[in-house]
């Protein structure tokens, strides 16, 4: 009996699949159903969102060695008309202060933030709201994991970098600053569509 079991174990998957014990009708039904499934219900993936620009200037920063918070603050200070923020975590006072200063000089500053920041101990929401800056809480069922800023309808800042102290001084992170109005418009449309479904906060 033991020797028989050993012989069975040595059989390949293919041999077992085509053995006499195979239920042929069930096997054929499975193959036909699988084939029809791919034909009648093909997997369709959404297309890429593409930019029309042929030449796109890029700026890259890696933390902690790059001190990326300095780059973000410089971009905020250079903005002239609008800043749209999409953030998962926002606990960095320097970035919050730069946004406040931009708002005070007349820049249209708005934030779309994850709901976790309502309870986060070091969240900068109270500071920003006190300044009168509009803040919206995203309605994502999961987490709102974006880390993006849009400047003046032209510049897109994005990457893995959360707007936190740890992202600047401890974590291995990256940011891209992209000069591309076409790309900025794509991001802006997505940002605005999420704001329409978001809840404005008045903490």
Tell me the catalytic residues. Answer: 145, 147, 152
- Pairing mode, strands 199-200 and 135-137: antiparallel
Reduced to 3 states (helix: H, G, I; strand: E, B; else coil), residue 164 is coil
Neighbours of 139 (CB within 10 A): 13
**Structure token digits, residue 69:** 């918070």
User: How many angstroms separate the Cα of 118 from the Cα of each of 75, 88, 92, 109, 175?
Assistant: 26, 11, 15, 19, 25
Reduced to 3 states (helix: H, G, I; strand: E, B; else coil), residue 104 is helix
162 near 175, Cβ under 8 Å?
Answer: no
């Amino acid at each position: 009996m033991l020797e028989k079991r050993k012989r069975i174990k040595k059989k390949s998957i293919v041999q077992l699949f085509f053995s006499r014990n195979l239920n042929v009708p069930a096997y054929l039904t499975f193959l036909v159903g699988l084939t029809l499934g791919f034909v009648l219900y093909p997997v369709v993936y959404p297309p890429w969102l593409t930019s029309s620009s042929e030449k796109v200037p890029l700026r890259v920063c890696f933390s902690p060695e790059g001190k990326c918070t300095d780059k973000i603050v410089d971009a905020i200070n250079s903005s002239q008309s609008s800043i749209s923020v999409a953030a998962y975590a926002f606990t960095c006072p320097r970035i919050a202060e730069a946004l406040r200063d931009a708002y005070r000089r007349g820049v249209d500053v708005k934030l779309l933030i994850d709901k976790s920041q309502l309870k986060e101990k070091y969240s900068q929401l109270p500071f920003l709201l006190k300044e009168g800056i509009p803040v919206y809480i995203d309605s994502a069922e999961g987490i709102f994991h974006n880390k993006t800023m849009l400047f003046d309808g032209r510049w897109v800042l994005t990457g893995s970098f959360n707007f936190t102290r740890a992202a600047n001084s401890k974590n291995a992170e990256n940011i891209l600053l992209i000069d591309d109005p076409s790309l900025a418009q794509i991001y802006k449309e997505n940002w605005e569509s999420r704001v329409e479904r978001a809840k404005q906060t008045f903490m």
